[in-house]
């Protein structure tokens, strides 16, 4: 049923493109940019109540942050698409025992952060606001949170950051976009106009927004963890990132999926940031 609805939406946008390509492309981008999930569950809310909450701001947008204080290095946790800071519970509990000062933030239009629109560039600005306040030594990003983390560090080159961890991170925005347009079955009129709209709105074509390309300027030590059978972000993305990220190592998992929310991964991360 869900796949039928997706195709119906795609067919509707395709039909609109024969009336107005611009209107159809704007609708396609709005659909792409609006998360449908990511709200905090009751169990996640209970966990997040163990933190100290603070609201920060980027322009008029509200950023919710959560802190679990510690005496060791400061770690910022950056979740992925249609998720929220509650996903970090196992890792937070482990790092708390180790004494780290832990900060998590909710992405634009996710969790307790306000808004209706999400993209990795906006997320990178959220990360910058949080990083300026807390001066982290380590950032751990999952999925598009990893991509946004790299965009942030590429742009701002924060000197305090010593280590980055990328979990199931995508390499190239153009590939994410293609998976979206393929899923909706958009025609060439919509696709071409969508590419033009993205370049106009964000100042560069889709192929310019690349984790792998942005990694070339990054100097902190990196750990990339990716599951061989990730069905959301292909494993080849991890290879491309590794080949560009000078001072990094890649750990390949099997059977942990895209979430990588597993004690094995927690131990890999702990070992890396302790070293």
Mean local confidence (pLDDT), 105-121: 96
Contacting residues for 140 by C-beta, under 8 A, at least 6 apart: 75, 76, 77, 78, 91, 164, 165, 167, 269
Do 123 and 228 reside in the same domain of the chain? Answer: yes
Asked if pLDDT for residue 158 goes beyond 80, the answer is: yes
164 pairs with which residues across the strands?
139, 222
Whole-angstrom CA distances from 2 to 8, 11, 36, 260 are 10, 14, 13, 25
Residues 222-250: pLDDT tens digits?
999 999 999 999 999 999 999 999 999 99
Residues 20-53: pLDDT tens digits?
999 999 999 999 999 988 889 999 999 999 999 9
CATH of the domain at 90: 3.40.50.1820
Domain boundary among 208, 224, 259: 208
8 Å CB contact between 268 and 242: no
Do 87 and 107 reside in the same domain of the chain? Answer: yes
Do 112 and 234 reside in the same domain of the chain? Answer: yes
Quote the pLDDT of residue 1.
55
Placement of tokens 């000078």 in the chain: 246
8 Å CB contact between 133 and 56: yes
Do 186 and 237 reside in the same domain of the chain? Answer: no
Do 49 and 94 reside in the same domain of the chain? Answer: yes
Asked if pLDDT for residue 137 goes beyond 60, the answer is: yes
Do 29 and 161 reside in the same domain of the chain? Answer: no
Mean local confidence (pLDDT), 56-72: 97
Distance CA 89, CA 70 (A): 16
Exposure letters 134-163 (e unless 16+ CB within 10 A, then b): bebbbbbbbbbbbbbbbbbbbeeebeebeb
Distance CA 173, CA 144 (A): 10
Distance CA 210, CA 267 (A): 28
Do 257 and 187 reside in the same domain of the chain? Answer: no
Element (H, E) at 98: helix 89-98
Structural domain of 190: 1-33+173-208
What is the DSSP code (8-state) at residue 58? E
- Count of the separate structural domains present in the chain: 2
> What is the 3-class SS of 119-131, one letter each residue?
CHHHHHHHHHHHH
Do 183 and 57 reside in the same domain of the chain? Answer: no
Mean local confidence (pLDDT), 150-168: 98
Residues 258-270: pLDDT tens digits?
999 999 999 999 9
Asked if pLDDT for residue 139 goes beyond 70, the answer is: yes
Do 75 and 121 reside in the same domain of the chain? Answer: yes
8 Å CB contact between 269 and 261: no
Do 104 and 227 reside in the same domain of the chain? Answer: yes
């Amino acid at each position: 049923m869900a796949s039928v609805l997706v195709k119906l939406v795609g067919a509707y946008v395709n039909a609109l493109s024969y009336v107005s390509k611009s209107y159809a492309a704007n609708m396609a981008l709005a659909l792409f940019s609006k998360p449908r999930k990511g709200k905090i569950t009751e169990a996640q809310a209970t966990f997040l109540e163990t933190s100290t909450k603070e609201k920060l701001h980027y322009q008029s947008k509200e950023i919710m942050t959560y802190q679990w204080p510690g005496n060791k290095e400061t770690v910022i946790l950056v979740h992925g698409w249609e998720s929220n800071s509650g996903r970090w519970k196992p890792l937070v509990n482990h790092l708390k025992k180790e004494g780290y000062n832990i900060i998590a933030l909710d992405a634009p239009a996710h969790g307790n952060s306000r808004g209706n629109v999400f993209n990795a560039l906006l997320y990178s600005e959220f990360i910058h606001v949080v990083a300026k306040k807390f001066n982290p030594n380590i950032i751990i990003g999952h999925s598009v949170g990893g991509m946004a983390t790299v965009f942030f560090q590429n742009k701002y080159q924060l000197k305090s950051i010593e280590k980055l961890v990328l979990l199931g991170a995508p390499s190239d925005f153009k590939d994410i976009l293609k998976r979206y347009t393929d899923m909706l079955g958009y025609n060439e009129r919509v696709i071409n106009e969508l590419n033009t709209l993205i370049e106009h709105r964000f100042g560069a074509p889709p192929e310019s927004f690349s984790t792998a390309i942005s990694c070339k300027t990054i100097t902190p030590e990196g750990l990339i963890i990716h599951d061989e059978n990730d069905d959301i972000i292909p494993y080849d993305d991890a290879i491309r990132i590794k080949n560009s990220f000078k001072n990094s190592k890649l750990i390949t998992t099997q059977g942990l999926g895209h979430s990588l929310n597993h004690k094995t991964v927690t131990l890999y991360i702990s070992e890396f940031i302790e070293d």
